[in-house]
Amino acid sequence: MLGKLFGLGLGPGDPELVTVKAVRILKSVSAVAFPILEGKESFARSIADQYIPKEINQIPIVVPMTQDRLPAQKAYDKAAQEISEILDRGQDVACLCEGDPFFYGSFMYIFARLSKMYEVEIIPGVTSVTACAAAAKMPLLARNEHLTVIPGTLEPEDLRSRILNADAVVIMKVGRHLDKIKKVLEEVELSSEAVYVEYASLPAQKVLKLKNAPKTAPYFSMILVAKGADPWL
């Protein structure tokens, strides 16, 4: 009998936001796999640290820090092979993922490689979007409004059109694109409505009006814009 693969969403960073179900599964599996950038500590592993049994088998998925996709693909190929060897022995494996596994989640790369061969269960996690909205105390949507989630990596014209056509906007992957995003929001006269959040739910959390945002933004940062057009609010 083959083992079962779990994709565990761990939430935005606060260990208290890890679900009861995820904790139960962590205590029952034979191995945990987790992504880790080369030369760094694993953020996902740090979130779950207090819930992982000390004697458990651990599989670090070491992803090189490069924009070239090939080295990352090879890292996930290697991890999938290691995970499959454990599953073939009839043992269960949990793959850790910050946020939610299927919302910009790294687990998707393991899922794509193994889901047709093994039973997989996805445990959803609190997303960074909802964590940032909660930190900012900003209701994003009501009734028939729609939300657009945009990566900050888009070109200015693409950002502009998507922002204008949405009732509420979440801009992720801000990082080195902060200045570009600020300029676009100023051009569409939404800068004063925008809120900047970094490290939501963590001790280093910051919630600021966009005009007060730092000059440089970390990877775990986000900009929220709620136009508040619905009179129900």
10-22 pLDDT, tens digit per residue, is 999 999 999 999 9
Spatial separation of the C-alpha atoms in residues 184 and 199, rounded to whole Å? 23
pLDDT classification of 7: cutoffs 50, 70, 90? very high
Angle between the N-to-C axes of helices 156-164 and 178-187, in degrees from 0 to 180, rounded to the nearest 10: 50
Q: Which residues contact 63 (CB under 8 A, 6 or more apart)?
A: 35, 36, 37, 38, 71, 72, 75, 76, 106
The whole-number pLDDT of residue 222 equals 97
pLDDT classification of 233: cutoffs 50, 70, 90? low
One domain, residues 112 and 135: no
* Total domains, the chain: 2
Retrieve residue 91's tokens.
Answer: 């043992």
The whole-model pTM stands at: 0.91
Domain termination site, one of 96, 123, 150: 123
Place of tokens 């606060």: 14
The whole-number pLDDT of residue 232 equals 57
What mean pLDDT is predicted for residues 116-123?
98
One domain, residues 135 and 108: no
Domain termination site, one of 62, 92, 123: 123
Place of tokens 């959803």: 124
One domain, residues 75 and 133: no
Judge whether 9 and 100 are in contact, CB under 8 Å: yes
> Lowest-confidence range among 94-108, 134-148, 194-208?
134-148
| Helix (H) or strand (E) segment spanning residue 5 | strand 4-9
One domain, residues 107 and 155: no
What mean pLDDT is predicted for residues 177-202?
95
Retrieve residue 138's tokens.
Answer: 């900003």
Give the chain's mean pLDDT. Answer: 93
One domain, residues 149 and 172: yes
- Say if 231 falls within a structural domain: no
Q: If phi over 0 gives left and psi between -120 and 50 gives alpha, with beta otherwise, what is residue 81?
A: alpha
Retrieve residue 42's tokens.
Answer: 């694993």
One domain, residues 27 and 104: yes
One domain, residues 20 and 105: yes
Domain termination site, one of 87, 104, 123: 123
The whole-number pLDDT of residue 219 equals 86
- Say if 232 falls within a structural domain: no
The whole-number pLDDT of residue 88 equals 98
One domain, residues 51 and 146: no
Spatial separation of the C-alpha atoms in residues 135 and 198, rounded to whole Å? 10
What mean pLDDT is predicted for residues 201-215?
95
What mean pLDDT is predicted for residues 122-136?
97
One domain, residues 9 and 117: yes
One domain, residues 29 and 114: yes
24-82 pLDDT, tens digit per residue, is 999 999 999 999 988 788 999 999 999 999 999 999 999 876 667 788 889 999 999 99
- Say if 233 falls within a structural domain: no
One domain, residues 113 and 135: no
The whole-number pLDDT of residue 37 equals 86
Closest of 134, 98, 95 to residue 13, by C-alpha: 98
Q: What share of the chain is helix, strand, coil (3-state, %, to 5)?
A: 35, 25, 40
- Say if 87 falls within a structural domain: yes
Mind spelling out the 3-state secondary structure of 174-227?
CHHHHHHHHHHHHHCCCHHHEEEEECCCCCCCEEEEHHHCCCCCCCCEEEEEEC
The whole-number pLDDT of residue 66 equals 66
The CATH number assigned to the domain holding 90 equals 3.40.1010.10
One domain, residues 16 and 115: yes
215-230 pLDDT, tens digit per residue, is 999 988 999 998 876 6
The CATH number assigned to the domain holding 221 equals 3.30.950.10
Give me the domain span that covers residue 11: 4-123
